[in-house]
Chain A
């Protein structure tokens, strides 16, 4: 084999190796999974069903629907003598609303929608979360609206409500998306339960 042939052979082997290492298959393996927000519709603008003439990011709308349904399911379970539901945490809010003051319900829904949207990939300004951190928000000494601390059982119950709300809004319980949403919720257990 001549010297030129050896060099040509080496170049061929190296070239093959380099191109093989840059193949699109590897890119697919290395590509990060889409965020939860993206899988819920992302920043694509859609018509807001609750505000005619306005547009809303599809991901934000998905979260708002789940938040509203969660609140609705909790309200549906409130009974004067029943223990174990989350009525004690939400009835002060409902009393205000019943008296015509809806400020805090609107803020709660807005804050929860911001919080979940921003922290799962919806980082546009519309989702900027301006509420308290999770520890302060759930500490009665800091947040006067927390009548009492949350227990592990309360949090598990809340997770159940959010899961049911997600299912009612089209996220099937046997999907990776559902599992990922539950994982995000579970990551909040420590700061919330005090």
Chain B
């Protein structure tokens, strides 16, 4: 069966445009500078009493020794805020490890429901094909 010449032409033009657009998309993703500390998470632990200067140093040292905890640790009164790589350790694991290192009475901070319900725009789904494709291309070029 002979395919009409105009249909063939339209097919190849469409294919060409698709290839060019795909190339632009790949270039765009490849040239993006990856976000520093992409898996950084901030977590907070509320203790039952404020820290003095020695207690501050001690709790910082204990947290620093836990795998995945980053360099910035903030101690303010009875509150400790720290950053960590959530692909290495989540906040529950770090909390459990810290509690095992000392005689502390504390609880993990959970964002209050009235504040947590505030509207935010949707973010990229890490299980979605867009996220996986972008990660694949970036891993090739970076």
Contact = CB atoms under 8 A, between A and B. Distances in A.
B64 to A, nearest CB: 10
Contacts of B114: 80
Contacts, number: 117
B115 A103 contact: no
B86 interface: yes
A173 interface: no
A181 interface: no
Contacts of B124: 103
Interface in A139-162: 144-145, 147
A110 B36 contact: yes
A94 interface: yes
B123 A75 contact: no
Contacts of B42: 71-72, 75, 94, 97, 105
Interface residues of A, number: 43
What DSSP secondary structure best describes chain A's contact surface?
helix
Contacts of A91: 111-112, 115-116, 118
A80 B112 contact: yes
Contacts of A95: 111, 115-116, 118, 120
7 contacts: A72-B83, A91-B118, A92-B118, A97-B41, A98-B116, A103-B38, A144-B120
Interface of B: 33, 35-44, 70-74, 76-77, 79, 81-83, 86, 90-91, 109-112, 114-116, 118-121, 123-124, 126
Given A76-B81, A94-B111, 18 more contacts: A51-B37, A68-B83, A72-B82, A73-B81, A78-B111, A78-B115, A79-B112, A80-B115, A91-B115, A92-B119, A97-B42, A98-B110, A98-B116, A101-B126, A105-B42, A106-B36, A109-B37, A144-B119
